[in-house]
Amino acid sequence: MFLKNLTITISIFLIATVFVLNAGTGLGNGKSGGKKIALNNKVGSNQIKFFSKAPGEDIEGTANGISGNFTLDPSNLEATNGSVTVEVKSMETGSGSRDAHMYSEPWLNEKGFPKITLQIKGMKNVKNVKYDASSGKATANATVFGDFTLHGITTHMEAEITLTYINESDKTKARALGDFVMVTVNFNVHLLEHKILGKAGVVGDKVAEVVNLQASFFGNVQ
């Protein structure tokens, strides 16, 4: 009898341990289940800022033609997945003639590769999870990983993100319906990894070999 009870106890303990180890990190806001989130400029201005710091010139630009959606489970952030697409033609640097060069070959070749895509496959290292019940706002930091396709070449990418989840309220309804999600991402793109060679001698002199991207994505739960 004792042996039977011990076996049952150990089994329950093992099952519980496996369950706990497999469970993802939650935002602690009482929400659960995979929520489909569509990027929406009514929630906030979806934008990617890019910075090139080279000895010859510093360039700062933006891209606004952003669309996409992702699935996020507030009780299991690691299971997040989705995709974001950026129109190359929406990139601008404040100079029409420089933008024309940027769209052309041997730079981004907008005609051949009109879109830049980010395929999100999951999150890891979720930390600094905070939830403020009074404002209905939850935040967390994490590392997002997936595939980044630029100039027709796909590379594995990992980037640090900050996730903000805001419960629907009268304030949010003034912009759009549903809970709001904002993700800020900071990562670097190595031009040569994507075979963006530019004109001879320009990359490394007037255009940095590594371009820093700072993205802000805003969406609402559908």
Partner 1 sequence: MVWKYLSIAFIVIALSVGGVWVAHGTNIYTKDKVPVITKDEMFGTESTEWKPEFHLGLEFAGPIMAASLIITFFSFRKYKKSLLK
Q: Give contact residues for partner 1 (rule: CB under 8 A).
A: 44-45, 47, 49, 56-57, 60, 62, 92-98, 164, 166, 171-172, 175, 180, 182, 184, 206, 216, 218
Distance CA 64, CA 91 (A): 7
**Residue pointed to by tokens 């594995």:** 156
Cβ proximity to partner 1, 50 vs 76, nearer residue: 50
What per-residue string of b and e applies to 34-66 under the rule 16 or more CB within 10 Å gives b?
ebebbbbeebbebbbebebebeeeebebebebb
Query: 68 and 86 in contact (C-beta within 8 Å)?
Result: no
Minimal distance in Å, beta carbon 98 to partner 1? 4
Could you tell me whether strands 35-39 and 210-221 are parallel, antiparallel, or unpaired per DSSP bridges? antiparallel
Minimal distance in Å, beta carbon 20 to partner 1? 33
Count CA atoms within 13 Å of residue 64 on its CB side. 5
Residue type, 217: F
Cβ proximity to partner 1, 76 vs 163, nearer residue: 163
Minimal distance in Å, beta carbon 218 to partner 1? 7
Cβ proximity to partner 1, 149 vs 161, nearer residue: 161
Cβ proximity to partner 1, 58 vs 158, nearer residue: 58
For residue 65 the two structure tokens come to: 């033609």
Minimal distance in Å, beta carbon 95 to partner 1? 4
Query: 121 and 83 in contact (C-beta within 8 Å)?
Result: no
Query: 158 and 145 in contact (C-beta within 8 Å)?
Result: yes
Cβ proximity to partner 1, 81 vs 172, nearer residue: 172
The region, left, alpha or beta by phi > 0 then psi within -120 to 50, assigned to residue 38 is beta
Cβ proximity to partner 1, 17 vs 169, nearer residue: 169
Minimal distance in Å, beta carbon 96 to partner 1? 5
Do you find a cis peptide bond into 114, omega within 30 degrees of 0? no
Minimal distance in Å, beta carbon 36 to partner 1? 20
